[in-house]
Chains A and B, each alone.
Chain A
Amino acid sequence: MRNRIFALIAALVVVVGVGLVVPAAGQAPKTYNPPKTPWGDPDLQGVWNDATSTPLQRPGNVGVGVLNDEEAEEFQKSLAHDLTRDRRDGGNAADVNRAYNEHWMDARRLKITADKRTSLIVDPPDGRIPPLVQASPERQKVQAARAAGAARFAAGLPDHYTDMSWPVRCVVRTDVPPYLPTIYNNDFQIFQSPGYVTIAPEMIHSARIIPVDGRPHLNKGLKQWLGDTRGHWEGSTLVVETTNFRADEGVLFQGANSATFTITERFTRVAPDAINYEFTVADPSTWTKPWTALIPWNKVDPAEQMFEYACHEDNFDIVHFLTGARLREKNGETVGQQRPARAGEER
């Protein structure tokens, strides 16, 4: 609960501190020359926010990649209706429940990208994640075990804390690359020092300290949940390669295989208040081809400061989920056979 309170405070700061920063992601003139640090690196420093309602994948009913003004307004309205909990069409109990949840959500997640795209994915051109390849029998087994745990959790009947996802367990959250927008705490602070660029994602309080001095990666056998990152500059773009991911199932996006997964991220400051964050992921044992997404990062007002996102320290939910499940078992509930939702209860 307390970590929710932290999130809430951060969200409040977000709401109070920020004017409308409308970046020109993808449209900025290529001629923009970012300022330099005193030691000559392009300056990416500041607190940046990647919230947007533009979905990673283009919705099936949308035919085009970029919308005109009118279509964009309609698209944004429709997405916001589905995303926000601040709507009054569920009856009193449900509406209050939703409002309570909406309280700590990032309001910036209700706007589409300024360039009016219909998907964050820019390659393949259809804006969709390429088809999955058939996993090896060994990986199918691991994936099935993870999926079964996730299903028990979704049904409110987790057997074990490992039925919960890595983010629910507060091991990793938005700090696993690629960085994707989420419902709250979408802030990233970039620090620069000679030979390093450091990215601190607010959630969960980790620091990605990226050497840009050409040193080699860690030896292959030394793995980490967030991997091992090296960067270099290509013009004014910070290009980042991350390797050495741990093999734990479910940490990497869409269950990608750490043995074959590669990721390249590019950070380009395209305006004083905007960074284009572009990533390309490839994993021949997960997707039929590589794919690329472009997510605008908008600079937040310096009056808005990041705040510690504690997670595990007050992760009461784990105990609530497990004790709730034990109680439901006693009442004879099983996965796929639950009591009906009570009025106002969201599942």
Chain B
Amino acid sequence: MQRRRTVAFLAGAGALAVLSLALPPLFGQPRPNGAPQFAAGYRAPRIADGHPDLNGIWQAMVTANWDLQDHEAKAGPHNELVGAYGAQPAGQGIVEGGEIPYKPDALAKKNTRFENRLKVDVSSDKTWHDLGDPEMKCYMPGVPRATYMPFPFQIVQGTSPYILMAYEFTSATRIIRMDWKQQAPTDSWMGWSRGRWDGDTLVVDVTGQREETWFDRAGDYHSDALHVVERYTPVSPYHMVYEATIEDPNVFTRPWKISFPLYRRMEKNVQLLEFKCVPFTEELLFGKFIKQAAR
């Protein structure tokens, strides 16, 4: 009785916004037009130092590893051997505004990379990295690609100034150094990550990435001037919104942004497994140098 009167009062006062905040979050509930939406105002649980607790195993569900932009379903490489295995799923792009703002000559380079994505030539140290998608060669994927590969990653967050991100793909890791001043000592495959908190959002500034990593299998690329700013925002107990702003004046006309949700892996006893892919690519890379009689 008392409760009904309160609700009636609130509704009568036109305080619907207040009421919706008082209810459990309605993540995943359709909007009037049918699109899913996270409820506003979610506050993540805290760990001992008062920061949001991002610990867990996370995974993207987008198909951006094939192409950051809109892409059709396609047969995979060597479909004459493996049929529909390895075919590319269709996917909606994750680039804000739809298009990556390439400089004209850079767009041509992207297309060349795509055409050469399945080629490999490691016979010379100097041209070692010139051909082929680094994913195919089992090289560490760099940031942000590591986040949307079709593999999970784990965030290990305590109360020290270090947050570890561990990726299943080729057991890559990177250390996020919180409120860190020192610049990257030199370039690396997973880059130099410095973090800070912006409210409930973990903001990671990534510099010092090797120029050889790609963004996807479509040949999207960057130079060694790449600067990525990532934002991890918890929006429900089971979701984070991931955003990354990508800046590289050598390749793009302006900074651009990607965003997509990350999903918490919820299987009972789920754990990060090993995907050490070096032995899976050795024949491709090194097979032509072995003794003929040993084939």
Closest chain B CB from A213 CB (angstroms): 10
Inter-chain CA distance A157–B138, complex, in Å, is 26
Q: Which residues of A contact B271 (CB under 8 A)?
A: 209, 211, 218
In the complex the two chains form, what is the Cα distance from A313 to B210 in whole Å?
11
**A residues within 8 A CB of B273?**
222, 224
Tell me the bound Cα distance from A200 to B272 in angstroms. Answer: 14
Given A191-B164, A207-B164, A209-B272: A310 touches B175 (CB 8 Å cut-off): no
Cα distance, A1 to B125, chains bound together (Å):
9
B1 is an interface residue with CB less than 8 A from chain A: no
Complex CA gap A225/B122 in Å reads 26
Interface majority SS on B: helix, strand, loop or mixed?
loop
Which of B134, B273, B276, B293 has the most A CB atoms < 10 Å from its CB? B276
Q: Check if B278 is an interface residue, CB within 8 A of chain A.
A: yes
Taking the closest CB of chain B, its distance from the CB of A132, in whole angstroms, is 27
Contacts A6-B188, A9-B186, A169-B279; A191 near B274 (Cβ below 8 A): no
B188 & A159 in contact (Cβ 8 Å cutoff): no
Contact with B along A34-52 (1 / 0, CB 8 A): 0001110000010000000
Known contacts: A169-B279, A193-B156. The answer to whether A322 contacts B189 by CB under 8 A is no
- Interface size in chain B (residues, C-beta < 8 A): 51
- Extra contacts besides A159-B291, A160-B294, A207-B272 (13): CB < 8 Å: A37-B159, A38-B48, A39-B48, A45-B158, A171-B276, A207-B154, A222-B273, A308-B188, A312-B139, A316-B122, A318-B285, A318-B289, A319-B286
7 smallest A-B Cβ distances: which pairs?
A: A38-B48, A322-B289, A207-B166, A159-B294, A206-B171, A308-B188, A159-B291
Interface residues of A (CB under 8 A from B): 1, 5-6, 9, 13, 37-39, 45, 159-162, 169-172, 189, 191-194, 196, 198, 200, 204-207, 209, 211, 215-216, 218, 222, 224-226, 305-308, 310, 312-314, 316, 318-319, 322-323, 325-326, 329
The 11 sampled A-B contact pairs (Cβ below 8 Å) are A169-B279, A171-B276, A172-B276, A189-B164, A191-B164, A193-B55, A206-B173, A226-B274, A305-B175, A319-B286, A322-B286
